[in-house]
Structure 1
Amino acid sequence: MSDFRKITEEDSYYNDIEKMSTSTILTSINQEDQKIATAVKKVIPQIENFIHVLVKKMQNGGRLFYIGAGTSGRLGILDASECPPTFGVNEDVVIGIIAGGDKAIRTAVENAEDNTNQAIKDLKQHSISKNDCVVGLAASGTTPYVVKGLQACQELNITTACITCNPNSPITEVSNFPIEVLVGPEFITGSSRMKAGTAQKLVLNMMSTTAMIKLGRIKDNKMVDMQLSNTKLIERGTKMIAKSLKIDESKAKELLLKYGSVRKAIFHATH
């Protein structure tokens, strides 16, 4: 793969960082961060192509899996864990899996990302099938846990995608829908938790949010299926219902608590 470039490991554009003033460090990081949204914009067509397939599969009961190691794995788990409270879906609809298991969410697990057979074992614990889609997250595009995991999925006719920050990396060869966000070298050489991590977070936000909108989980611009897990969300839901039904907030709150979601409260009040 002669065109493969490990941009994520290339030297930073900035030298003698430790001698910089605090203001210069912050300004320089911000300057680099401004490149991320532009890089993501360039891959919107690739994200869209994957979303079309993903939504069809999810409409037929399929699930979305993220697999990754280190920062990438944590970002997948973060996105997956926010789908149930935000969109009211079950916890087994979007699933994040990290190399090294749940312990690796908080602390690095030695050699976990180099285990080539573990990802498919982890996926099989969730009874993965060709109805599902698996997104491999690897800034470098070379993480063995992720690359071999996607390869095993393809052998089982499971749709694969990836989010990486290096062009023509090994992960793209095992992805039906490769998404390459080229953000350039990091402010601190090789620290892919920075620009590469932010780029992955942006794409994950776009991916899960768009899929959930297409699956009917948003009405107008409101989270009508959100879980009422704290006072702030109950207040938000109350305001939504009051505005929609043109009733006072005390009555709206009563309906919300009775039916358990904004969507159900509005439905029962209007039918």
Structure 2
Amino acid sequence: MPRIAVALFALLLLTAGGCSEKTGDSSTAADSAAAPEGLVGQANAQGSFLAYSHDATVRMAGPDIAARVSAVRTACMDGRHGQCTVLGEQQGSGQWPSGQLLLRAEPKAIEPLVAMAAQGGELSQRGTQAEDLADAVRDNGLRQQRLRTQHDRLSEFLARRDIKADDLIALSNQLAQIETELQASEQEAAQQQRRIHTNLLTLRFESSQVTVASSRLGEALRDSLSVLDSSVAVLVTVILAVLPFALLAGALFWIIKALLRRRRRRVGRAGE
């Protein structure tokens, strides 16, 4: 009996170990399956001044590109996934349709927008870059501080009652210039904050029928047509340049030939 109990206990341990191993494997598979395959928006940590930009290329059937571009543009303009602005749009038709969208959106909107763009197609290429704006933000802040200090001092001078008319005009002009520079600096600061708190997203749509071989073949054909066009142009130029001299040479040859015939006739008559 004790041996049977020990064997049963060992069997239970092995079974429990196998179950836990299977559970661990399944959770790992679930984690890998849950890993995102698209682009994820990037938000700045405390004290960071990074401007993130994303690029994504989607390949799909050419006839579906226009509708997909329109759908993503509408979703952005409606703010369906968060704050989003359409900065640019391009579409190409013909044998190989294409499209491009340039969007600026808050970080949480990047992933659903890219996923929406890739519906019915393949996300063939993606990338993320970041530009550090810390120095630019600091320099612009110091510039604003300096301009505000100058603005306050000039305002104090203008508030004096004993100021002369000429000085009043000069100080007013200088104050207006400082206000213009300060306004430009504030606009630059707003643009910097916009770049820091939002992400720039470039979506490119390409026809899945376009392959590297066909692209190279099309490029080779275009180059051949270009070379042929240049050759014909050079040939026409040469013909037009030589034509007057050829006509003159032909006329001289005909005149000389006619004179020689006439001379031969005269010589023949004289010999008779």
Scaled by the length of structure 2, the TM-score of the pair is: 0.28
Q: Which has the higher contact order (CA 8 A, sep 6+)?
A: 2
| Greater percentage in strand | 2
| Greater percentage in helix | 2
Scaled by the length of structure 1, the TM-score of the pair is: 0.29
